Chain A
């Protein structure tokens, strides 16, 4: 009885692994993992490249801020809100010509990074804006009293002082952006989410779906925790 159970248990495990990793599946997993990571990292990176300046402008032009401009603030705010309210899948279809223009194709991972960035920039801009608003106004006033111009106020005061909050925001942005990556399925891209859809849903292979999902969870944890760790370690207010 006992030996039968043990034997079936082990054969079950072995069966699981052959099913999960057999026939070159290990390569599939690793390839998909790599694609997920690079799509997400590039997407987040590009979103921040554009999102930080946009967030700074949104912050600076707001009422009572460092270069208030009601008209510019309202226009930018409106555009940002529109992009944020269009569902990603529709935004993806609508912005296909943009991807074609930038990367030469509407399909695949490169095009997907374009769609991802377009969707994430407004979100990142709002995150940056709200992090900057957390900086104590007194510190800004003190810097101004020293004779700090707006550019240096941004680079030497606002961003360094908001750094812990910006990093925490980046962790959230990364996870959110990662959450969009399975949509590569629609445009023949790759990644773990895509793998889960292809095998799990369309081939009824739940093992592969579970494994790729677990791998996604690990990716999220690793990135989330590293961002949080850096945020905590570099925050001088907590010592």
Chain B
């Protein structure tokens, strides 16, 4: 378990002090895939670097399995880091070493005997599916392959945690999906707790169990991915989850209703029932459905009729089905 308590981080810059993180409290449970999402500059990379103390927090504590990293001696900290793997947006492989050399590296540092390290390398190559490229150098690999090597390297010392700092942001959508699939496999089969930092909602949707939304140095929302996706509470959460208003034709004016389907009602033909029951025409401005953790979660934006009575009927219909909605002006 990783517990962050009252963590703040300030940087000194030429233009004065910058607060990157403010009063962060966060608990990441063993075995989960935890996502941290935010726009660039929100502080998410700093937050993940505080989890292995690559950045030392200005105040607050970071507990990994109950032990406070900020209190550790340098030696203890180096040993603890072997239990927390990390992968990066830029892969950061040793360019003068081949695939095997890169995966061997953490084991050399940890002082694992060479023959044992070699057999672990073979296991890891198998896991990440790169056995055939074992003798290649990073410059000969594609982005996706480089990230696989980085994952194998991060897992070499059998860490309990894996920190992923924008690990898929430099990859194309297909490769991103494959890497995320690999991370999920590692989470399930090796029991590694995965912490993912990203600015892309689709990454969170695809594999995370829980998500924290970071905005302007604070956690503004925290919950299961389906909860946050179905009904985002914070402004930033809504901005990240909900489609941009540019997707909606601008010539329309008046009020609209954003209806959220959280998976319970996916099998009921809600809209056609609503049309029949409320006896009104409905103009659908936008609709989208996604599969999040096996649940069909969707958003629909409908234009409200001019007739106020019809609006009341629509709302009470939705209430009766306990479907979430929010009135918005278009």
Contact = CB atoms under 8 A, between A and B. Distances in A.
Q: Do A and B bind each other?
A: yes
Interface residues of B, number: 36
Interface in B213-250: none
A239 B96 CA distance: 11
Interface in A137-157: 138-139, 141-149, 152, 156-157
B96 A236 contact: yes
A99 to B, nearest CB: 38
A149 B78 contact: yes
Contacts of A239: 137, 139-140
A146 to B, nearest CB: 4
A144 to B, nearest CB: 6
B96 A147 contact: no
Interface in B158-180: 163
Nearest to B98: A236
Interface stretch (B81-89, B270-278, B292-300): B81-89
Interface in A20-79: none
B54 A147 contact: no
A8 interface: no
Given A146-B109, A148-B109, A161 B86 contact: no
A113 B85 CA distance: 49
Contacts of B163: 145
A141 B90 CA distance: 11
A138 B109 contact: no
B95 A145 contact: no
A23 B108 CA distance: 62
Contact of A141 (B54, B109, B150): B54
B94 A160 contact: yes
Given A139-B93, A142-B92, A146-B82, A236 B110 contact: no
Contacts of A138: 88, 90-92
Interface string B136-150: 011110000000001
- Taking residues whose C-beta sits less than 8 angstroms from the other chain, chain A's interface range is 20 to 34
B268 to A, nearest CB: 48
B76 to A, nearest CB: 10
Interface in A73-90: none
Contacts of B110: 147
Contacts of A145: 52, 54, 81, 84-86, 154, 163
B98 A147 contact: no
Contacts of B82: 146-147
Contacts of B52: 145
Contact of B81 (A139, A147, A163, A236): A147
Interface in B44-77: 52, 54, 74, 77
A143 B86 CA distance: 10
Contacts of B108: 156
B202 interface: no
Q: Shortest 5 CB-CB distances between A and B: which pairs?
A: A142-B92, A147-B81, A145-B86, A138-B92, A147-B78
Interface of B: 52, 54, 74, 77-82, 84-86, 88, 90-98, 105-106, 108-110, 137-140, 150, 153-154, 157, 163
Interface of A: 136, 138-139, 141-149, 152, 156-157, 160-161, 163-164, 234-239
Given A139-B93, A145-B154, A156-B108, 18 more contacts: A136-B95, A139-B94, A141-B92, A142-B86, A143-B94, A145-B54, A145-B84, A145-B163, A146-B106, A146-B153, A146-B157, A148-B109, A161-B94, A161-B95, A161-B96, A236-B139, A239-B137, A239-B139
